[in-house]
Structure 1
């Protein structure tokens, strides 16, 4: 039985009348729950660049960015679970590793961009969350911090910005942060300020 099948069976059990949902939920989290940092990356300007220069131009930038980012994820003890379009999703056991990787990604793009024409520059937006997630199989991760990191990386961050959830922020009060609005109208968001050399 695969992890996905096992989870499906537990969720079916959870739906049955008379089921002790608290016990079933505890069983699900005991089997699949992990505390991890979640990273989402997104490249700047997908629609604009595709419209102006064609999909092959942007696919080239995706390939170049992955050549920069994937080794950094591995070097910082992370695991890339998904590559979808111009986005990456990775997990890390330690939030400090996730933040150091994010800073290294921004530094790598800064180093790669000088001398390039604007349409060939790589600019990355990064969102980070930290908390309990459900890891199912080799490529699936679910949880509130997954959703939050995705929202930060794909919608709220601008090029070169690293945004984190309140839960991620709480793990590293020694870093220099600036408040950066709210997520889902209730949760504070923080932006890492330019102190990447100390990571």
Structure 2
């Protein structure tokens, strides 16, 4: 289980010291890395249809749906040894010890959301897209992650993943077994950045390689 022990105050003090003493930046950077750096899988979930649903039914309707998403998703994150970092608007951010745990949790969340949707009116159905990265990040306090893979996972989960899609960054893909038929490579572009991502095509395939 990944846990955070380092405070934002400590992090901000070190950043200020780095600004105040540029001649000591190398030593301060090493200290920051030693205290805050973790290598893990990053999970970013984004709910679909925020603008349309809010315009049609009002913000309270959508806030209720966000609450339902959290109630369903957070126990699953814990079940697969992950840690919820934060929830912002209709996004859920978490970290996992490895990519396969993040993928397994993602499929479990999609499965449970689909099951709940069958018993709800269409306007209350919840659909999500998920981006997964892997690499070194700075874990600050209990509610923030910083790093390139965090940024890439956000772009995949928030901007590029469609309903019920799970997209992996190239670094996350390198952490799993490359069985044919399980993964679909995608050449994507956003904000002028070219991305190579991989869509997880089947739960069956992932179950076989987990």
TM-score (norm 2): 0.87
Counterpart selection for 2:160 from 147, 156, 159: 156
Unaligned runs of at least 5 residues, structure 1: none
Alpha-carbon distance in 2 for matches of 1:114, 1:131: 37
Distance 1:115 1:31, change over 3 A: closer
Could you say which residue in structure 2 is the equivalent of 1:192? 200
Aligned alpha-carbon RMSD (Å)? 1.8
What do residues 134-193 of structure 1 show as CA deviations (whole Å, max 9, x unaligned)? 011111211111111111111100110001110001000345211122355333111110
What do residues 33-72 of structure 1 show as CA deviations (whole Å, max 9, x unaligned)? 0001111111110110010111122122112111211110
Contact 1:78 1:98 in 2 (8 A): yes
SS in 2 for 1:186: strand
| Number of equivalences | 198
Unaligned runs of at least 5 residues, structure 2: 1-5
115-124 vs 142-151, greater mean Cα deviation: 115-124
Could you say which residue in structure 2 is the equivalent of 1:138? 142
Alpha-carbon distance in 2 for matches of 1:64, 1:12: 40
SS in 1 for 2:23: coil
Contact 2:44 2:92 in 1 (8 A): yes
SS in 1 for 2:174: helix
176-185 vs 87-96, greater mean Cα deviation: 176-185
Contact 1:183 1:189 in 2 (8 A): no
Distance 1:173 1:17, change over 3 A: same
TM-score (norm 1): 0.91
Q: Does 1:68 align with 2:68?
A: no
Contact 1:37 1:129 in 2 (8 A): yes
Q: How far did 1:115 drift?
A: 4.6
14-23 vs 36-45, greater mean Cα deviation: 14-23
Distance 1:63 1:9, change over 3 A: closer
Alpha-carbon distance in 2 for matches of 1:67, 1:13: 40
Contact 2:139 2:145 in 1 (8 A): yes
Within-5 A mapping of 1:1-199: 3-16=7-20, 19-174=23-178, 176-182=182-188, 185-196=193-204, 198=207, 199=210
Q: How far did 1:105 drift?
A: 0.9
Alpha-carbon distance in 2 for matches of 1:127, 1:166: 11
Alpha-carbon distance in 2 for matches of 1:155, 1:143: 18
